[in-house]
A and B are shown apart, each in its own frame.
Chain A
């Protein structure tokens, strides 16, 4: 990736994070809050009211103008001359008349009386004119900020009429739909929406920059935004602590998720942006279910940082090719199905040591891809079986078989690097998915084959075969097992050690080890590529004539030992090709005739003479 984009991404994420938190803080401190009133005084008596009112010189002048009233007032003491009703009542009536005349509080409930009922009021922070920018405005600004920065490094993407402009337009159109008007919800939801939009936009623009040929039109971009972002907001948890976790999850995962989604869309634009609108829904269902499932820390740990994105990519391919698998009847997303697949994968891998994290997730991705490639045929065979159940069965059988071999003392498999382990899994999975009837939720033939091969590998004590040799052997074993059900391996996973293929390989390994115990001076040729080809030849021959191969006489082992003896007598006379030619010829003959021919010099020369002695 362009380093400028990386730097840009980091800066955008930091900026968005701050903006998101700031929006929430702003909503919290600027919302209307309840401010109490000063406690009103105890009620004034009429006597006290008169003192208060006529303490004002202007009011007192009115009193002085009335000779009947002025005598009732003691100006020096600022109070009525006494408390008798004949004094208080006329003064009080004059007071009321004066107030009524001035229209002070007249005709309406006074502010003072209202206060007593309320005891306070909800008060806003700012006037409308001075109110800070709304959250939607902030998000729009942040988007513009990101787009502007992007223009500097990728001017072609965010140009007029470009796909970048379409994407930004689609997000802007959907902003109000993503953020509700409810004030209480506005804060956290707006905050997460802000982040989500920014990360999505950055990922989208990056993907568009990497795929300049991808053309987004308005309808498609809007669908993409709606179907991808809306489900993520809709499943936002209610409590603050969960929201923080959810936000952290979005921060960590949405970027790579969106990039993966855009990349798959760019690679298969017809599938997602053509007329197959169900693909849009499948994309949304898949992305929403992914995040819901990944809220479970155990699932995240099990799939690993890069593992879940690998699996997500594989599922995106399925969504592109077969949206109906993700969208049920009536175009209702099958969220539960996707979640069960993701969580089930993590759970399955957790049971099998050695397949946690990235490798397990990649193995699961291979299973999904293999199933996708053959889904039509597989699902037609047994319509009652859900595809995700079949995928989980495949993942479980392969990872289970190999895990047991890894932990069971087999040194050969432990020499495998992770790539080779994955390749081994791929060999089993791809062939199994391509073989009608081999897979099924209740069928364990695949596990039997994996366990059988793993069991045979465990017998390579002297490490005579390399991991690459074993990969080729596994490929042939799987291919022959697929073509000849029940011959080389059982049709279930019971007693994998006793499977014919396991016995054949074990016998040949024993024969090779016996010869090699004498060292290279002993003239043994049965190792490495020769041993590999011998095993392959033996497996093919055994698959053709399983009954003879399984006889107690162990004809295949006997042939190998006989050739070893001949070679040991004249080590300089034979090469590996001779050994192999002898073996291929004699094994077929022994299995056909039910006995091992005496291997004298004449016989050897007769066989090798056909192609010239080495």
Chain B
């Protein structure tokens, strides 16, 4: 770097006063914008292999950049925002982010806990990133089992694994339910409440789908303990969402019901 340029940069940094804050904020904006672009690309990519080598790795890299930037952040709010970006990016990075997400969520949660002003959205996103990542991780395992089931009967171990997958998903759903912001917290925006509830529903439906698969494939059904746990989670989910969780892909249950009735 030329001497003149170095002096100019130093001078700007000194004169700007709070230049570090500005740079961190600017990086934060860039990372958020880039993450959104990658997530949209990821959602539109059907080929799992292509998705892993492009979007997943890009998200893991982006998360690493966010974590690196945390060191430059001057305030808790900036640190929390960067941890939110890192946590969400590692969550959506799939297998590429499985090793790192735990540490990032722990660090972000610790800052959220000690910060004087707790930004509700960012702290909520950090907290739910881990169970959300677990749900998607189990979902990938379930996809593998379903592929195996299409080839022939599942082995004993595979059947046990399918039950475990459902159990873990239900546990993650319970954790998500516990993360729902209290109704008395006036700082929480409505769209954040709705967002968290959607994640609860999605988590429940993933778990319900896994359980149905396990029951479908098990010759003798599931143990009684598993049944009780399912009922408890379903009940909690219903209470949290204010209505029975519906995992159907349809626009109008009533019209479908009428169609079924007419056809019978």
Contacts and interface: CB of A to CB of B under 8 A. Distances in A.
Interface of A: 13-14, 17-18, 20-22, 24-31, 33-44, 47-49, 51-52, 55-57, 74, 76-79, 89-90, 92-93, 96-97, 99-100, 102, 104-113, 115-116, 119-130, 187, 191, 240, 244-245, 247-248, 251-252, 297
B247 A112 contact: yes
Interface residues of B, number: 89
Contacts of A111: 198, 201
A33 B191 CA distance: 12
Contacts of B120: 125-127, 130
Given A35-B88, A41-B206, A89-B260, 9 more contacts: A21-B18, A36-B88, A36-B92, A38-B135, A52-B212, A89-B264, A93-B261, A115-B202, A121-B195
A74 B139 CA distance: 27
Contacts of B132: 38
B249 interface: yes
Given A29-B122, A90-B264, A44 B191 contact: no
B149 to A, nearest CB: 12
25 contacts: A17-B16, A18-B18, A22-B21, A24-B21, A25-B25, A28-B28, A29-B81, A34-B36, A36-B39, A37-B198, A38-B135, A38-B206, A40-B202, A42-B143, A55-B231, A78-B221, A89-B264, A96-B257, A97-B260, A97-B261, A106-B253, A112-B201, A112-B246, A120-B39, A244-B19
Interface in B177-207: 186-192, 195, 198-199, 201-203, 205-206
B1 interface: no
Most buried by A among B77, B92, B222, B231: B77
A92 B8 CA distance: 73
Given A21-B18, A24-B21, A121-B195, A78 B215 contact: yes
Nearest to A249: B15
B205 A112 contact: yes
Q: A-B pairs with the 3 shortest C-beta distances?
A: A21-B18, A17-B17, A77-B221
B118 to A, nearest CB: 10
B215 A104 contact: no
A44 B119 contact: no
B220 interface: yes
Given A29-B81, A52-B208, A244-B22, A43 B249 contact: yes
Contacts of A92: 260
B141 to A, nearest CB: 13
A48 B234 CA distance: 15
A57 to B, nearest CB: 6
Interface string B107-131: 0000000000001111001000000
A21 B192 contact: no
A55 B146 contact: no
B146 A42 contact: yes
Contacts of A51: 211-212, 215-216
B12 A245 contact: yes
Contacts of B218: 77
B220 A125 contact: no
B239 interface: no
Contacts of B249: 43-44, 112-113, 116
Interface string B76-111: 011011000000100110000000000000000000
Contacts of A48: 209, 212-213, 216
Contacts of B220: 77
A74 B221 CA distance: 10
Contacts of A26: 77
Contact of B254 (A34, A106, A119): A106
A432 to B, nearest CB: 37
A532 to B, nearest CB: 46
A31 B28 CA distance: 11
A340 B155 CA distance: 85
Given A29-B78, A29-B81, A109-B251, A79 B18 contact: no
A578 B235 CA distance: 124
A585 to B, nearest CB: 63
Contacts of A22: 18, 21
A52 B211 contact: yes
B231 A57 contact: yes
A208 to B, nearest CB: 25
A41 B205 contact: yes
A116 B201 CA distance: 13
A327 to B, nearest CB: 32
Nearest to B259: A96
A125 B26 contact: no
B87 to A, nearest CB: 11
A579 to B, nearest CB: 57
A463 B236 CA distance: 103
Contact of A37 (B18, B26, B199): B199
A42 B213 CA distance: 11
Given A29-B122, A191-B22, A244-B12, A124 B252 contact: no
Most buried by A among B78, B80, B190, B244: B244
A411 B15 CA distance: 42
